[in-house]
């Protein structure tokens, strides 16, 4: 049908596909950073980031509302096959913060950067904070190495993995800002989207983004 021939956008994506290059920056003095609320599988970007687990094969729990399931569902079975091939070559599970880059298959995004965030199942420690910052840095470095110019992040680790989002958002924002500041002279056109899902998460990210750009 028209969908399979690529003449029509994916029918599940209520609200349609959103091209991140058309989204304005959140702040004029913080160019390159966008805040967007909605389902990440709708985004047309060079890459979207999947909060995966260390097996990197998607989520196998039926009807589980994690981002891993959403991405694998709408990317199609080809994504799981590509992940399996990558993991076969790796020969081990992925380390926390170690990104794996695949195609986007049936998604509007060209690539998916899969990364496993830290699991917080006790008190939050500096090791958790550092591991989360590494996720953002390593994903951006992987995108940069492939010449990708727009990356949409979900809020890594703040769902099932238990990282409090009010603690995670300032780390995400500060790490991305630092990366863009370092790279911007070479790559002035890199755009990073913070994709939030709920109204609550949106207000947390707004607070983080209102902090001074050079904290
Ligand atoms: P983790 O295991 O790293 O905690 P989760 O999938 O449980 O990953 O959640 C990560 C974040 O992604 C949460 O903030 C969650 O609300 C958000 N999220 C879940 N589904 C989607 C989606 N389809 N699009 C964007 N964000 C999503």
Strand order through the sheet with 47-51: 33-37, 191-196, 150-153, 47-51, 111-115, 100-103
Q: What is the best residue among 52, 59, 66, 74 to mutate for testing ligand 1's pocket, by most ligand atoms within 8 Å of CB?
A: 66
Q: What CA–CA distance (Å, rounded) separates 212 from 174?
A: 10
Per-residue pLDDT at 145? 94
**pLDDT, tens digit only, all 215 positions of the chain:** 555 555 555 545 567 899 999 999 999 999 899 999 999 999 999 999 999 999 999 998 888 889 999 999 999 999 999 999 999 999 999 999 999 999 999 999 999 999 999 999 999 999 999 999 999 999 999 999 999 999 999 999 999 999 999 999 999 999 999 999 987 666 667 899 999 999 999 999 999 999 988 75
Distances (CA, A) of 105 to 40, 189, 196: 14, 24, 23
Tokens representing residue 104 in the block: 């986007």
Residue ID of nearest Cα to ligand 1 atom 1: 157
Q: Is the CB of 134 under 6 A from ligand 1?
A: no
- pLDDT reported for residue 184: 65
How far does residue 1's CA lie from ligand 1's centre (Å)? 31
Q: Is the CB of 97 under 6 A from ligand 1?
A: no
**C-beta separation of 146 from 111 below 8 A:** yes
Ligand 1: does its nearest atom lie under 6 Å from the Cβ of 66?
A: yes
Q: Which long-range contacts (CB under 8 A, 24 or more apart) does 95-98 make?
A: 95/54, 96/54, 96/131, 96/134, 96/135, 97/131, 97/134, 97/135, 97/138, 98/138
Ligand 1 close to Cβ of residue 59 (< 6 A): no
- Ligand 1 centroid – CA 156 distance (Å): 7
Say what the ipTM of the complex is: 0.96
Q: What's the 51 CA to ligand 1 centre distance in angstroms?
A: 7
Residues 118 and 131: beta-carbon distance below 8 Å: yes
Gap between the Cα atoms of 95 and 77, Å rounded:
24
CA pair distance 21, 139, nearest whole angstrom: 19
CA of 52 to the centre of ligand 1 (A): 9
pTM of the model as a whole: 0.93
Q: Is 159 in the pocket of ligand 1 (CB under 6 A)?
A: yes
């Amino acid at each position: 049908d028209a969908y399979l021939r690529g003449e029509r956008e994916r029918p599940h994506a209520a609200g349609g596909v959103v091209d991140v290059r058309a989204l304005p920056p959140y702040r004029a003095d913080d160019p390159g950073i966008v805040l967007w609320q909605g389902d990440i599988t709708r985004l047309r970007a060079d890459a979207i980031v999947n909060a995966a687990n260390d097996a990197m094969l998607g989520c196998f729990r039926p009807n589980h509302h994690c981002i891993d399931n959403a991405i694998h569902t709408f990317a199609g079975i080809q994504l799981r096959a590509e992940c399996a091939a990558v993991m076969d070559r790796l020969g081990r599970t992925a380390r926390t913060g170690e990104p794996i880059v695949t195609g986007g298959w049936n998604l509007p995004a060209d690539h998916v950067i899969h990364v496993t965030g830290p699991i917080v199942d006790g008190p939050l420690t500096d090791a958790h904070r550092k591991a989360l910052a590494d996720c953002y840095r390593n994903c951006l470095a992987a995108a940069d190495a492939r010449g990708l110019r727009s990356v949409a992040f979900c809020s890594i680790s703040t769902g099932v993995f238990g990282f409090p989002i009010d603690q995670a958002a300032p780390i995400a924002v500060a790490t991305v800002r630092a990366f863009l500041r370092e790279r911007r002279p070479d790559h002035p056109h890199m755009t990073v989207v913070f994709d939030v899902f709920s109204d609550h998460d949106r207000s947390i990210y707004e607070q983080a983004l209102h902090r001074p750009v050079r904290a």
